[in-house]
Amino acid sequence: MIRPFVRLTSFAFAALLAALPSARAVPTRPSAAPNEVAALAPNEVARLLGNAFAAVAEKVSPAVVILTVTRRGEDADRMLWSPEEAPEGPFDSLPRGPRRLPIPRDSGETQGSGFIVRADGYIYTNCHVIQGAEKIKVRLKDGRTFDAQVVGVPDEKTDVAVIKINARDLPTVELGDSDAIRPGEWTIAIGAPFNLDYSVTVGVLSGKVRDHLGTAMYEEYLQTQATINPGNSGGPLLDIEGRVIGINTLIRTRNGAGFSFYNANVGFAIPIKLAQKIGTLLITKGRVERPWIGVDIRTLAEDPEMRPFVKGLEKGVVIKTIRHDGPAQRSGLKPGDVVTAIDGTPVATARELQKLVLERQVGQMIRLAIVRNGKPLTVEVKTGLQPASMPLTLRQTPSLGGALVYGMILQPVTKEVAEQYALSEKNGLLIMEVADDSAAARAGLAPGIVITEVDGRKVASPLVFREAMKRADPKRGALLQISRDGTRSFVVLRMHSDEAEPSR
């Protein structure tokens, strides 16, 4: 039976016909348009499509690299997970936050992926793949191995990092246009999931500009149906022409079928347009410098507590917190102000405000149109240089539908975090935010408190915290050892029946 015309891209169709010398002739229509292909039988369509995927894999794989990262001590403990502590999701991710999915090989080692962007040895990957690395080994498709060095300061806020190997005339990828690709188009992922090097998976692009996941400060993920798993981190997401449109970085998982977790075909990639901007800065300047005004914000439409105080105002961004060390502290802004425009450009969401600020220069004066107590005002703020580690600055304050852990946003306490927030505790989980009406809020937990143990079990990551809470007696609750300003105490965290699993 002959099917109607099938459209394929020029690269895909040309490559596939070349790969099918024995394909039999098929009927054609005399009036077929130049960009249309003659009608094909179903098995021929499948064969051509399969060869298109194979052609992409053959074209790109030589520029894809496998990373083996060696860590020591606490850094290795934070990055590795055991089957008993496997992520329970749903957004258990390859990047920061839940950071335990680079696939473990031997003790202290994890494996990830990357791709070569310059013939002189520059490679893009994820920040979380190489974070805390003592040694990075890069292996090419042809079997050659190299030691790699980190270029500049990896950007935790986007989870983009650049490394370099000492080599020349290397194969490189072609960068595509992540803005142009449309949902429904084919995407292809190449990487090393579970130590299975150069695995190729395919699926359609499911969506664009996915945010509210709570896994990175700047979220504009591409969502793909192509299966990605631990070890795919840092590898390329490709279009049907074999061009890189994203860096694979995040997956959605869930429990079931007797497995501790499995991929739900909901994967996320950093758009290559954003990654290339960050990568270029790391290569040329060694770091990413961003302007900020020092506020925590939330979209008005998603802030039901604030809306009764601004009746008649439908769109805007609520100033939730003004940081004591930020530029806004020296301006006329106040918590509760609703920003409606920046330099004359209307803003309706926290993401829009964030982008407009990031487009400015450090030290530039900006004019904010605000509403305070029902009256319109204008406030000027001079942007400052955003600190290197401010995980919640200028980001959307998540609602309960975001990536909260039992109503809290938790940050692992590292040496840098302890120094930044003057913490007496050097290990544990720092509470950054607590959702109203959550179990955590009812227990009296608040930002600034450090959770050190759950039922006697030390917790160093959100994933370990979730696992410990899952094991707790739901009737008795979990006993949390906490520290606030150096004073240690405990609280009992009890979950209602409808909170038995974390809301994500």
Residue positions annotated with a catalytic role? 128, 159, 233
Say which residue the tokens 């650049």 belong to.
Answer: 162
Say which residue the tokens 């290559």 belong to.
Answer: 272
What is the signed CA dihedral for 179, 184, 186, 192, rounded to 10 degrees? 80
CA dist., res. 124 & res. 163, Å (int) = 7
Q: Beta partners for 410?
A: 431
Structure tokens belonging to residue 497: 């029946």
Q: Strands (DSSP E) along 310-458, which ranges?
A: 317-322, 338-342, 345-346, 365-372, 375-382, 384-385, 408-412, 429-434, 450-454, 457-458
Type of residue numbered 244 = V
The candidate with the shortest Cα–Cα distance to 78, out of 96, 91, 55, 60, is: 96
Structure tokens belonging to residue 145: 């191995």
Structure tokens belonging to residue 469: 């809470």
- Report the alpha-carbon angle 52-53-57, nearest 5: 120
Structure tokens belonging to residue 455: 């039922």
Rounded to the nearest angstrom, the gap between the alpha carbon of residue 30 and the centroid of all alpha carbons in its chain is: 49
CA dist., res. 425 & res. 283, Å (int) = 35
Cβ(187)–Cβ(272) below 8 Å = no
CA dist., res. 160 & res. 285, Å (int) = 15
The candidate with the shortest Cα–Cα distance to 445, out of 471, 481, 473, is: 481
Alpha-carbon dihedral sign for residues 213, 215, 217, 220: negative
